[in-house]
Amino acid sequence: MWEDFKKFALKGNVLDLAIAVVIGAAFGKIVTSLVEDIIMPGVGILLGGFSVEDLTYTFNGAELRYGAFAQSVIDFFIIAFSIFMVIRLFTRMKREKDVPAEEEPQVLDKKEELLVEIRDLLSKEKTGQ
């Protein structure tokens, strides 16, 4: 059982996933700080000191903090957009890396030229030309 567990735990996919979780958690903290400490105070300044998070509704002594919920939804969309932009950047960089360099035209030797001519003649004959 120990050997099976070691094989499973040391697979590349499991290690990649573990690294992605750690990096994702750190990235999430950075984006959360960006939202809470920079973006939302800036929005509050633009709106004259208004804070979405402080919105509440009191009903029969029960306080509904719908502003905190709205703040969480705003945070989610900003975090999701940030992650989307990072993934898009990495995808674009990977795509540029994967694009093969333009190949020089191959020079065919006489045998290959003859085979190409035969292929072309056969395809013309097949189409009835």
Give me the pLDDT at residue 38, please: 85
The CATH code that applies to domain 1-100 is 1.10.1200
Query: What is the rounded distance in angstroms from the CA atom of residue 90 to the CA atom of residue 83?
Result: 11
Query: What is the rounded distance in angstroms from the CA atom of residue 69 to the CA atom of residue 57?
Result: 12
Confidence at 78, pLDDT banded by 50, 70, 90? confident
Give me the pLDDT at residue 100, please: 66
Q: Does the pLDDT at position 34 exceed 70?
A: yes
Query: What is the rounded distance in angstroms from the CA atom of residue 55 to the CA atom of residue 98?
Result: 50
- What are the extents of the domains in the chain? 1-100
Judge contact between 68 and 53, C-beta under 8 A: yes
Q: Does the pLDDT at position 24 exceed 70?
A: yes
Confidence at 103, pLDDT banded by 50, 70, 90? low
Confidence at 9, pLDDT banded by 50, 70, 90? low
Using a 10 angstrom Cβ sphere, with 0-12 exposed, 13-18 middle and 19 or more buried, the burial of residue 129 is exposed
pLDDT digits (tens, 9 = 90+) for 114-125: 888 888 888 888
More confident residue, 16 or 76: 76
